[in-house]
Amino acid sequence: MSIQTIRPARTLQGSVTLPGDKSISHRYAMLAGLAEGTTVLSNFSTGADPHSSLACMEALGAIVVEKDKTIEITGVAGAFRQPEHPLDCGNSGSTMRMLAGLIAPHPHTFTLIGDHSLTIRPMERIRKPLSKMGAEIHLTGGDGAVGGHAPMTIVGGPLTAIDFDTPIPSAQVKTAVLFAGLQANGTTSLSESVRTRDHSEHALKAFGATLNREGDKLSIPGGQKLKAIEATVPGDLSSAAFFLCAALLFPDSNLILDSLGMNPTRAALLDVITALGGRIKVLNVEEHHGELIGTIQVNTTPGGLKGIAISGALSAQLIDELPVIAAIAPYTREGITIRDAKELRVKESDRIALVAKNLKAMGAKFTEHEDGLTIPGNQQLHGAQIDSGSDHRIAMAFSIAALRAVGDTEIHGAEAAAISFPEFFTYLDSLCQR
């Protein structure tokens, strides 16, 4: 287990281009694997998770060639082969849940496995809709058990379209149903009461699929074929969250993020940064395959960080960014309250418990709730030993909190950052002035 020491900083200055968006990289990799022809992807995510998706595509018969920062994927033209070994999804819940929908219509038996943290994450949420479509899915922990989890066995075969109301806001569940619906008999429709990130909709259209949205309802006709594309993956906004929050900590910070994904269904983060006292200037913006890519400049308004209450739909939209928002909460004037975020307890770790443990280690006062945290403002933190719990977002979140602490902070299990962002500590060091 590696330890990374974070020293306090005076300010944050400079520009950075972030690795490709993890969510988009996953989806492009999977659809390219299914498509006909060779897809060429620039700025593919450097994180371990999307590379788990690539490895699964190879195991299913796609040909993957990596050249510098470009990935070429020659797809199977709609017919995955029987893999020789279990499909290893590593640490990636995105891979396991979305892949299940992609492979369920194929006439083979698939076993999906992952690391320890993945094998305790809930998978019943995708078994339900895919079973309704006719897939045979066996989970560990008993079929129908709320706690059903990996290893997962899928006995694939022809699927039939369904109308599905998503019970929890989850882009991964939505994607699993859309990927299965793409290959099913009939038109599959899906309704979501809370709008989740729409990368899958854009990706499907980019690869040539027909997809319709009317209000809260999505529909996708089955039996569609996909064609290869050339695309550049936008910079990862969830990775940007750490630097955006770091910029808020210092009155004279000046941060420029180039080629950043600015998808409106992810832009809630930018709204929260602004509400906390950040000034965001969009320097340019373009559209590629339905995704917005822009360059932004970030600094802070005089008077320091305000507070904010995050709940309801906003908690669902910010689920990946909540740990770092919580980590800087003690430095705000009015504090930060996070509720309706129970989903954080079933991520790569129990993120609410780990945020609480590490805030306590740094001397913060807070109240832990079943579905979130209340963290008062105007607190001074001190350096401490941080337990990442082998969770990439916890390791990175408390590296940001450490920048304004008194004394050095040690991040234990710092190697976890490589799951989504191997370059994180190098980039952070290059932007911090001490």
End-to-end CA distance of the chain: 27
Residues 269 and 399: their CA atoms lie apart, in Å, by 19
Query: Residue 352: which region, alpha, beta or left (left: phi > 0; alpha: psi -120 to 50)?
Result: alpha
Dmax (CA) for the chain in angstroms is 62
Closest by CA position to 130, among listed 162, 107, 106, 108: 162
Would you call the peptide bond into 330 cis, given omega within 30 degrees of 0 as the criterion?
no
Cα 397 from chain centroid (whole Å): 15
Task: Provide φ and ψ at 25, rounded to 5°.
Answer: -60, -45
DSSP-derived secondary structure for 125-161: HHHHHHHHTT-EEEEET-TT-TT-EEEEEEE----B-
Sequence-distant (6+) residues with CB within 8 A of 311 are: 337, 338, 339, 340, 372
CB atoms within 10 A of CB 385: 12
For 48, the 3-state DSSP assignment is helix
Task: State the catalytic residue, choosing from 320, 340, 408, 429.
Answer: 320
Q: Do residues 62 and 71 lie in contact, with contact meaning Cβ atoms separated by under 8 Å? A: no
Residues 183 and 223: their CA atoms lie apart, in Å, by 5
Q: Is 320 a catalytic residue?
A: yes
| C-alpha angle 354-355-357 in degrees, rounded to nearest 5 | 60
Residues 260 and 404: their CA atoms lie apart, in Å, by 26
Catalytic site positions: 320
